[in-house]
Structure 1
Amino acid sequence: MTTPRSAGGPRHRIHTVLAAALGLMLGAGLVTAAGAQPAAAPAEARSALRVCMDPNNLPFSSVDGQGIENRIAEIFGRALGLPVTYYTFPNRMAFIRNTLRYKLPGADYPCDVVLGVPVGFDQVAVTRPYYRSTHAMVFAPGRAGLDGVRTPEDLLALPPATLKALRIGVYDRSPASQWLVRHGLVDNGVPYNMLSPDPQQYPGEIIERDLVAGRIDLAIVWGPIGGYFAHRVKEPQLRVLPMASEPGVKLDFEMAMGVRHGERDWKQQIEGLIDSRRGEIEAVLRDYQVPLLPLSAPLAQARP
């Protein structure tokens, strides 16, 4: 794990912590009028929109500003009239402690918002959600007898010999692992370490490296990862099948942003941006091939 460092610039973050949070713990914020503009006074008190970011976490974030969260941060920065700066740290279990809640010796916190935390994540004050997605199957239809698979139910209906032979890549302790257990496919699972100590590991390796090379026949991953990396692979052509939650296995989650507990005004301001820039946010998500589901009705207010 590297030492936290700063990265600036207007163009300059989730899989491991997200997956751990979803796997291990498996609130929207205060509601304002739809389309409301953020209050001006808090924005004027800030010199920059300071974002906590993983530098190597596509499709969510990257040090060169090519991730979903980088794009959304730019939208928010323009709306606030502020430059966007980043404080980077590999997204592992200690990510929040080493970014959002890390107070520099004799100075202030280095960043003020995390873009991309699951609703219900209690290490931060969670805003209202800005998108909802689900886990997805990713595979090459021309391999392993998967030509006719167009829904998860089709997969389960494959001939027993074909189904038994499948090698299914999943991140350990994730909802995908639970899905394998529920359907009696544990022996098919090829586990991947969710919390690798290697800061260069990135979420899409399971697709770009092992699925493409034929080391596994199918991967079950968080939808934004599946959509983005399947679209990036040109050969073989890959199919992405969003999955629905089942009794005892929750596969879809609403994603929000996080600020420090007690920063009520800042949280409300971020929520105002989520509301007023919702169309732009959705356009970014679609650009990155994120499988989107409708957001649920507003939930109870999260703890400020």
Structure 2
Amino acid sequence: MTRSPSSRSWLRASLCLLLAFALGGAAMPASAEDAPSRKAFRVCKDPNNPPFTDARGEGFEDKIAALFAAKLGLPVETYTFPQRLGFVRNTLRYKLPGKDYPCDIVMGVPADFGQLLPTKPYYRSTYVLVIAPGKGLDGVRSEEDFLALPPDKLAGLKIAVFDRSPGSAWLARHNLVDSGVPYKTMNPNPDEVPGELIARDLASGAIDVAVMWGPIGSYTVRQAKDIALRVVPLASEPGVKFDYEMAMGVRFGEKAWKQQIETLIEENQAEIANILKQYGVPLITQPVVLPLASPELVRQAAVSR
């Protein structure tokens, strides 16, 4: 609730496997109530949340939804709502008396997100630095290079961070708070996309560097038509967690549906990885194990995108 780690936003549970589903053939539900006969692959999504989802179905979560629907032999149907506070309540858990739920799955949530039943993770990404050219930073190729810059150089930079994100903790840890330029995680205007806003401000010189959730950072680089932005991955460290696992989410109690989605994740890992690669999503295979900050940070920064 993809969103970038920032991301707009955004942002993240047990992995119980109750039944095996033969997805190449008929899938046998645990009960009619748990896994009813499905006529469509019904997705809850934000219609303007690139690179995750958009109204044209061109986000990477849209592409993965289309892949899963094809494997199940179902059409994709979507129910849209801006991904802000209350997104799950107004989509996945929204039900009028005598009516059906409008959708059945959220394609991107933190793996420990507590407002729904998360599946097993299907990718892990990390926050990144998005760096503008011509700022004396052309030699920066890693986080270590950046932090090794002369103190006066670092102090003179304008570093964008989204409120309540790991970027704020990172600035504090490295005595860069005075260089921070705050941006709102949840813009009240649902048409204002964080990646596009940051791209404009980097191009105009309003900021020099941005700390962003990896998928949104890569999108920001693609959106910058007239400026050669670069992405530098950030690593988790004690007190600052940058890398997070992302899963899909279904309603509580729908364990057979969760199992079916997890089987799709397992059987289509290569296709999923290829889709993520096409969108430049920074992928991490081995997480850094450290005493880190609360996962609540990424809920605000990556899910409430």
TM-score range, shorter chain: 0.7 to 0.9
1:60 aligns with 2:52: yes
1:214 aligns with 2:202: no
1:201 aligns with 2:192: yes
Match of 2:229 among 213, 238, 245: 238
Distance (Å, rounded) in 2 between the aligned partners of 1:289 and 1:218: 19
Say if 1:224 and 1:291, in contact at 8 Å, map to a contact too. Answer: yes
Which residue of structure 2 lines up, in the alignment, with residue 29 of structure 1? 15
CA displacement 1:111-155 (0-9 Å, x = unmatched) = 000011001111011100000000000012x32211211111111
| Structure 1 vs Structure 2 CA RMSD | 2.5
Distance (Å, rounded) in 2 between the aligned partners of 1:134 and 1:284: 17
| Within-5 A mapping of 1:115-126 | 115-126=107-118
Which residue of structure 2 lines up, in the alignment, with residue 300 of structure 1? none
Cα shift at 1:106: 2.5
Distance (Å, rounded) in 2 between the aligned partners of 1:46 and 1:162: 58
Moved more, 157-166 or 229-238: 229-238
1:41 aligns with 2:33: no
Distance (Å, rounded) in 1 between the aligned partners of 2:207 and 2:37: 52
CA displacement 1:270-290 (0-9 Å, x = unmatched) = 001111111111100000000
Q: Which has the higher contact order (CA 8 A, sep 6+)?
A: 2
Matched residue pairs, number? 281
Which residue of structure 1 lines up, in the alignment, with residue 157 of structure 2? 166
Match of 1:72 among 64, 67, 75: 64
Cα shift at 1:104: 3.0
Cα shift at 1:52: 0.3
Question: Given the superposition, is the C-alpha separation of residues 228 and 44 from structure 1 closer, same or farther in structure 2, using an over 3 Å criterion?
Answer: same
Distance (Å, rounded) in 2 between the aligned partners of 1:72 and 1:108: 24
Say if 2:202 and 2:209, in contact at 8 Å, map to a contact too. Answer: yes
Say if 1:100 and 1:112, in contact at 8 Å, map to a contact too. Answer: yes
Distance (Å, rounded) in 2 between the aligned partners of 1:58 and 1:179: 25
CA displacement 1:180-224 (0-9 Å, x = unmatched) = 111111111111111221111112134321112111000010000
Cα shift at 1:105: 4.0
TM-score by length of 1: 0.86
Runs (5+) with no aligned partner, structure 2: 30-34, 288-305
Distance (Å, rounded) in 2 between the aligned partners of 1:263 and 1:33: 12
Runs (5+) with no aligned partner, structure 1: 1-12, 297-304
TM-score by length of 2: 0.85
1:114 aligns with 2:101: no
| Within-5 A mapping of 1:1-304 | 14-15=2-3, 19=7, 27=13, 29-31=15-17, 37=23, 40-42=27-29, 45-140=37-132, 142-294=133-285
Say if 2:195 and 2:223, in contact at 8 Å, map to a contact too. Answer: no
Counterpart of 2:78 in 1: which secondary structure?
Answer: strand
